Structure 1
């Protein structure tokens, strides 16, 4: 990626020794929490590559959990995030694994609620506090969380992407980036859209009411982080 300013290199205001291992990890945790849309009762955290080797020493475990608690990157509560999460009722499991195809600073988060609803998010911290979400629930998609993100889970049917983009266009929402993946022809699919502004609830409801749409998720860290 191309860094746009000096803050992209030195990283954001943060708690911890490393923008990649702490600030980026917080942002991945926050992204997962927003995608899940609720406080997760159980979280399995799997560190890969450099994260797996150094997560204890660099506080990456504290950072990810801080993000799951929706703490900002400079929130001093990150230092006690695991204790705070467990006191709030979050059951945490930490694991390590290796996958040569992954970025060295990658973490997989499996979030569950009390009813067994589950989301699996894979994210990588790519430097300067910047992150890439690389997968959601088995779909191979990529987005940064630098902009508002709309995710539409749907059946792979003719014209679905056109319907989604038309609703956004008619509602005055500009699309900056789009990614689509499916689990096979005519099977489950997801459309990911990064927008220049928040997507109004009414537009999301129009999309949710489209035939063959199963779920609509809106996640936005950009406005809050801009104010930090």
Structure 2
């Protein structure tokens, strides 16, 4: 037990700012997951904070952690403390909006990333101990912990799309541990969320992108 706690503080303690790992390390991981799914540094980010995040984000360093994650910094990156200045220098405009809307979890953030026509909306919750969960992506409900590698395929809802992805994975001997397909309405866009036992590398992601009807393909690990 002692080792477990020492390890947690090795990761988030000395560098991360603030008294609570849920307000710092978890927040940083939400930001970094959003950045990974967006695929590059966004030009503009709106961050809507709910619950205790909205009340304490400045004092607890949640703003610094979220922006550090958006800059693709790991939780122990020494640049994390300067993330707000670095974002400004690199041309990433960030606005924070406090909401009093009730949410299911007290530490909830909605991140809207934009760059030209490219837009991504992600909802993340910080569940304590530096862990986080992504609960919504572009309006699709999901549950991603980021603990296992997850292949996210955003695609047109059409016949054969799921089979095409599954066939490519099978051909490369990638085993599917868990798969969820959600759509807003028949024939519009859909999202495949696929937990895999092996890593889906960039070449394999590119092969999936080339399939008809694919909108975006990314791996969250």
TM-score, normalising length: structure 1? 0.86
1:108, distance to aligned residue in structure 2 (A)? 0.7
Q: Is the 8 A contact 2:50 2:102 kept in 1?
A: no
Q: For 1:70, which of 68, 72, 77 is the aligned residue?
A: 72
Structure 1: stretches of 5+ with no match in the other structure: 221-228
Q: 1:144: how far off?
A: 1.1
Q: Deviations over 1:20-65 (max 9, x none)?
A: 0000000011101111010111111111111111111111000000
**Among residues 51, 54, 58, which one is paired with 2:53 in the alignment?**
51
For the residue of structure 2 that corresponds to 1:38, the secondary structure is coil
Counterpart of 2:63 in structure 1 is 61
Offset at 1:157?
A: 2.2
Q: Does 1:29 align with 2:27?
A: no
Residue of structure 2 aligned with 1:13, choices 1, 7, 11: 11
* Cα RMSD for the two superposed structures: 2.1
User: In 2, distance between residues paired with 1:159 and 1:67?
Assistant: 36
> Which 4+ runs in 1 deviate beyond 3 A?
5-12
Q: Which runs of 5+ in 2 are unaligned?
A: none
What is the deviation of 1:87? 1.1
Deviates more, 1:79-88 or 1:10-19: 10-19
Residue 7 of structure 1 deviates from its aligned partner by 5.4
SS at match of 1:123: strand
2:141 aligned partner: 140
Provide the residue aligned with 2:194 in structure 1.
Answer: 193
Inter-partner Cα distance in structure 1 for 2:181 and 2:100: 27
Question: Is the deviation greater in 118-127 or in 199-208?
Answer: 199-208
Alpha carbons of 1:194 and 1:99: their partners in 2 closer, same or farther (altered >3 Å)? farther
CA distance in 2, matches of 1:8, 1:180: 39
Q: Secondary structure at the match of 2:79?
A: helix
- Count of matched residue positions in the alignment of Structure 1 and Structure 2: 215
Q: Kindly indicate whether the alpha-carbon contact (under 8 Å) linking 1:12 and 1:73 is maintained by their aligned counterparts in 2.
A: no
Match of 2:170 in 1: 169
Q: Distance in 1 between matches of 2:10 and 2:150?
A: 21
State the TM-score, normalizing by the size of structure 2: 0.89
The residue aligned with 2:108 is 106
Question: Shift in Å at residue 200 of structure 1?
Answer: 2.6
Distance 2:66 2:102 in 1: 22
